[in-house]
Amino acid sequence: MTSFDNAFDALIGNEGGYSNNPADSGGETMWGITARVARAAGYTGAMRDLPRDTAKAIAKRLYWDPLRLDELDARVAFQIFDANYNGGHPVIWMQGAAGAKVDGLIGPATIAAVQATDPLKFMMRWNSLRIRYFTSLKTWLNFGKGWANRIANNLWKGAA
């Protein structure tokens, strides 16, 4: 298994299967993939029937590969992947957690800074930035408990 395979399996533990919560702006989702993203990737079937392997291929192409996560410690890569999948500002958080110049651009300097940072320190800083972001959102009161539990689960996985 690759780091991505393990990360995707762990991510699905956070995302679950089919959802169509009217309170969630993502709308109809399956395996955490929104209908909008699935349609843009060429999927035309019912969202409830989106194959896991299709969701996995979309996740790799859109949420893993652009951030060069294969180049990072697997624990760190999972944290970043989960946030990129769930929403937020992963490149800015990568730079902040690694002490790199915060410019929002993924490049060799950002990757090198993340690689040079102790993975456990990176994860603590990363999740601090992520929690601060979540608590700043207007939707914190509706979704905060779920987000906090997601981060708690991710920290547990990172410490494994």
**Residue 1: its pLDDT value, please?**
47
3-state SS assignment for residue 71: helix
Task: Provide the 10 A C-beta neighbour count for residue 137.
Answer: 14
The average pLDDT across 17-24 equals: 74
Answer CATH for 3-159 from 3.40.50.10470, 1.25.40.10, 3.20.20.80, 1.20.141.10: 1.20.141.10
CA max distance for the chain: 44
- Would you kindly state where each structural domain of the chain is located, as residue ranges? 3-159
The rounded distance, in Å, linking the Cα atoms of 78 and 67 is 11
Give the phi and the psi of residue 145 in degrees, each rounded to 5.
-60, -45
Average pLDDT, the chain: 91
Amino acid at 132: R
Residues 137-159 pLDDT 10s: 998 998 899 889 889 888 888 77
3-state SS assignment for residue 72: coil
pTM of model > 0.75: yes
* Bridge partners (DSSP) listed for residue 29: 19, 34
Residues 83-117 pLDDT 10s: 998 888 999 999 999 999 999 999 999 999 999 99
Amino acid at 79: Q
